[in-house]
Every structure is written in structure tokens, then in C-alpha cells.
Amino acid sequence: MHLIIYTSRYTGDASHIDNDLVTITQTAKNNNPALNITGLLFYHNQQFLQVIEGEQSDLESLMATVTADQRHEEVVRIVDQEVPERGFSEWNMDSFNLSEHQQLSPGQLQAIKELYKENFAMQSDTIVDFYKSMLGDDEASI
């Protein structure tokens, strides 16, 4: 099982993000089951952060699609590694808009927390890279 977490910059107009998230999510829900890819997509202030897991060759194909998608720029992999097991087995794909006008519900936050707690084994250096990316600062000290 392979895991990729990447960030990218949304190139569209912020007023279109809700429609683009619906389109991206629906496309993923249609295509990912055949490839056995699971994960989550987060959006916040013109930035995407996506967690995807599956067979490495399938993830590489998906990453080529993402890189070619004109809605994404500056695609940066922050995690790209083998993992012992799938962490998001129940999430075909979903997206969350974390911009200031929308927030995750307590139930969604709890579900994500439990998935990480029970299934997602990351090394400490990977966790540091993940949080640096969330902060948007490669030089941030944690």
C-alpha cells in the first residue's frame, strides 16, 4: 500500500471553488473505486491538500492527472511512501472546504481523527513535513 500527500495551489477564482470541489469529488468517486484509491481532499485559502492511498502505479497515474489539471499549480508531494495498511479505507474520496466561511462538523473531525489514530502509521519526520506543509512554510520550525 502506498500513500501520497500533496499540496497544490488552486488557480481558479475563489467564487468557483464550491463548484470545482463538487466536480473534483464526483469525478474521484466515479473513477477511484475501479483503481482502489481512497483518500480525502482539503481546500483552504487557494490551497489544496490531498491524501491519497492505493497501489503506487495507480497513484502515479492519478498524480499525472492532477499535475495536468489546470485547476492545480505548484503541486508538491510532502509524503510519498509505502505504508503498512490503508488509513482511509472507508473514504472513497471526499472533499472539505476549510475556508473561513465553512468548517468541518464535529462528526467529520472525529471521523478523521479516528482514522488517523487507528490506521495511519506515520514516521515522526513525515509528521513534521505534513504540519510544515499545512502551515505553508517549508522553513517553519515545529
Q: Which three cell numbers stand for residue 46?
A: 487557494
pLDDT 10s digit of each residue in the chain, 142 long?
999 988 899 998 888 998 999 999 899 889 888 989 988 888 888 888 888 999 999 999 999 999 999 999 999 888 888 888 887 776 677 777 776 555 545 565 556 555 555 555 544 345 445 545 555 544 443 3
What is the widest separation between alpha-carbon atoms in the chain?
40
Distance of CA 80 to the CA centre of its chain: 12
DSSP β-bridge partners for residue 42: 49, 96
In a domain, 108, yes or no: yes
pTM of the model: 0.71
Range of the domain at 58: 2-135
In a domain, 141, yes or no: no
pLDDT of 69: 93
In a domain, 75, yes or no: yes
- Our separate counts of H helices and E strands in the chain read 4, 5
> Going by C-beta distance under 8 Å and a sequence separation of 6 or more, which residues neighbour residue 90?
38, 115
In a domain, 21, yes or no: yes
In a domain, 140, yes or no: no
What CATH number is attached to the domain comprising 55?
A: 3.30.70.100
In a domain, 25, yes or no: yes
Q: How many domains does the chain have?
A: 1
In a domain, 23, yes or no: yes
In a domain, 131, yes or no: yes
